[in-house]
Amino acid sequence: MTEAGQAEPLPGGRDTFRLFFALWPDDAARDALNRTGRWLHRHWGGRRMRADTLHMTLAFLGSTPAAQLDALAACAATITSEAFELVLDRPGYWRHNRIGWLGASETPPQYLELARVLNDALAAAGFAVDARPHVPHVTLLRKSAGGEAPACSPVRWRVKDFVLVKSVTTPDGAHYEVVRRWPLGAGGAAGAA
């Protein structure tokens, strides 16, 4: 994993990676999300996401040739959003995929701007990103029964950067590896280039 602001060469070659851009929690936010996952699991059941996988997707790319990594980095470098705080206080459930998740009753404008500008830049560069309206969420449970939404202690997450993540599927599930990180705040993501 790279440190915030550090510009490391991206892995190249002829490989194809399953990739997505995401907000990646720091240790404090990860612990809080994991506790909320444990609590929601008591209400709704299902399979808890491992703590090391918890994240909020900004843009999903899917299978992408490694040769495109520089183009992805160029899209990320157009981001000039400021750092912001997410208050995740709303459990949600999607029946169609049986996912239990945590979202925000109030989405910060900086988040919406970040997701919009990033997805627009990716689309303009020819990447097939999902054009559907984006519901900010952290998946906590899979194969869950759902139910009444219980009242929830808010998770406060100070978002200072965003990342490009590679998903590797192994027999014990998906593992995520942060490929590169771009800071938010003064100078925006262009500061990492």
Q: Which residues bind ligand 2AM (CB under 6 A)?
A: 20, 57, 60, 99, 130, 139, 167
3-state secondary structure of 123: helix
Q: Where are the alpha helices (DSSP H) in the chain?
A: 27-44, 69-76, 109-124
Is 134 among the residues known to form the active site?
A: no
3-state secondary structure of 156: strand
Residues in the chain: 193
- Among residues 55, 96, 134, 175, the one annotated as catalytic is 55
- Which CB atom, from 61 or from 69, has the smaller least distance to ligand 2AM? 61
- Which CB atom, from 174 or from 190, has the smaller least distance to ligand 2AM? 174
3-state secondary structure of 24: coil
- Which CB atom, from 57 or from 68, has the smaller least distance to ligand 2AM? 57
Q: Give me the least distance between CB of 7 and ligand 2AM, in Å please.
A: 24
d(CA 179, CA 71): 14
Q: Give me the least distance between CB of 44 and ligand 2AM, in Å please.
A: 15
- Which CB atom, from 91 or from 188, has the smaller least distance to ligand 2AM? 91
Cα distances (Å, whole numbers) of residue 1 to 5, 65, 100, 179, 186? 12, 20, 28, 6, 22
Q: Give me the least distance between CB of 165 and ligand 2AM, in Å please.
A: 7
Q: Give me the least distance between CB of 39 and ligand 2AM, in Å please.
A: 18
Q: So which residues are the catalytic ones? A: 55, 137
